[in-house]
Amino acid sequence: MKFLKVLAYPLSLLYGCIMLVRNKMFDWHLLPSKSYNLPVICVGNLSVGGTGKTPHTEYIIKLLMNNFKVGVLSRGYKRKTKGFFLAESASLVTDVGDEVLQMAHKFDNIKIAVCESRRKGIEILLRNFPDLDVIILDDAFQHRYVKPGLSIILSDYSNLYTNDFVLPTGNLREFISGAHRAHIICVTKSPKVLSPIVSKDIEAKLSLQPHQKLYFTYIKHGNFIPLYTDNGSEMPPKVYVILLFAGIANTYPLEEHLKTKCDDLRVIKFNDHYQYKEEDALALLQKFKDLYSVNKIMVTTEKDAKRLENSVFKNIFRNIPLFYIPIEIEFHNKYKTDFDNQILNYVRKNKTNR
């Protein structure tokens, strides 16, 4: 693997330089970057995924939705549709993507849409819903044709972007110098108990700019929720074996959580945003049946659950105890109040400028 990374290093330099030149063209106004007369918040990262954008976006939605009319715009990764598409709870995962469908199921009182062009998507949202107070852009940090008023980037605690390199040698979409465009940096998936010494060390590694604020978050796992509420299965009184399967970028936090819930954890990993097929479900079912235990369950993620919501999978997993675990993010100590205030103050100040 190390040998392959060495071979790919020149390609990484070339790719990184192309992205650097592209960013400079926006900085020097050789390429157009449009601002809007309402608050626009971008939640993104430097890496290709696995930092927790969806739960952080959901946190901001919940923070704002009771006092402001909120719109959310995403690319809709892995969807089959093209162009602008307004998400609803009845939408299909192939229409809007798993992450957007997850948000649409949770927040039926806000406008959530997908569009490859964030500029076009914002303009359609504002034309159809002119009373929107704020728009949240999901995964748009590299989409420079829109200039957000507040940019947030996320970095995994166990794999800071300062320790990474650009594709294909590493997982970064651009050189780490691009982080200077962010107003907020959130270090995600940190331990629930965070040492002040460790947080100071990370702050030093990230070399924050004067305009930047640093926050730390951790994952809060919810209860086991049946994927199919009427399939005839129940949670056993004591769980000995869990078969976890997931198509997400980073299963480590969930694995660590589930190890506290059973004696034996088995893990089957798929690619991020993997679109399950019937043969995958049948193979998973056989793996589960082959486990030598009575008190056993199957577990997946909330995002994967959205890709399994159809009658074919429901019939395959009939009478099987299959659950998903929702997640939320929590801020450490005083970081929650400071983060909430920074978001709320930005929206209040810029909402009045319309």
Q: Treating both helix axes as pointing N-terminal to C-terminal, what angle do 335-351 and 53-64 enclose, rounded to 10 degrees?
A: 60
| Tens of each residue's pLDDT in the chain, 354 residues | 566 676 788 999 999 999 999 999 999 999 999 999 999 999 999 999 889 999 999 999 999 999 999 999 999 988 999 999 999 989 999 999 999 999 999 998 999 999 999 999 999 999 999 999 999 999 999 999 999 999 999 999 999 999 999 999 999 999 999 999 999 999 999 999 999 999 999 999 999 999 999 999 999 999 999 999 877 678 888 999 999 999 998 899 999 999 999 999 999 999 999 999 999 999 999 999 999 888 999 999 999 999 998 889 999 999 999 999 999 999 998 899 999 999 999 999 998 655
Pairing of strands 150-156, 184-188: parallel
pLDDT at 237: 87
The CATH number linked to 232 is 3.40.640.10
Do 194 and 257 lie in a common domain? no
Would you say the C-alpha torsion 171, 100, 44, 218 has a positive or negative sign? negative
My answer on whether 210 and 289 are in the same domain is no
Q: Identify whether residues 138 and 254 lie together within a single domain.
A: no
Q: Do 86 and 42 share a structural domain?
A: yes
Q: Residue 130 has what DSSP assignment?
A: T
The per-residue pLDDT for 234 is 80
- 235 and 342 housed in the same domain: no
Q: What is the pLDDT of residue 2?
A: 66
Residues 241 and 259: their CA atoms lie apart, in Å, by 10
pLDDT at 58: 98
- Distance, CA of 66 to CA of 28 (rounded, Å): 39
Same domain, 305 and 343: no
CATH number of the domain to which 31 belongs: 3.40.50.300
81 in the same domain as 196: yes
List strands edge to edge, sheet with 134-138. Answer: 85-87, 111-114, 70-74, 134-138, 40-45, 150-156, 184-188, 213-221, 327-331
Instruction: Please state the domain count of the chain.
Output: 2
CA distances from 29 to 25, 66, 118, 121, 144 (A): 6, 37, 18, 22, 11
Whole-number pLDDT of residue 351: 85
Provide the 3-class DSSP secondary structure of residue 335: helix
Q: So what's the pLDDT on residue 230?
A: 78
| CA Rg value for the chain | 21
Give me the pLDDT at residue 25, please.
97
Mark whether 186 and 257 lie in a shared domain.
Answer: no
Residues 210 and 243 in one domain: no
Quick one: 185 and 125 in the same domain?
yes
Which residues constitute the domain of residue 200?
Answer: 2-219+330-351
- 265 and 340 assigned to the same domain: no
Helix (H) / strand (E) containing 316 = helix 311-316
Rounded CA gap, 34 and 241, in Å? 53
Please give the distance of CA 214 from its chain centroid, rounded to a whole number: 19
On whether both 180 and 254 belong to a single domain, the answer is no
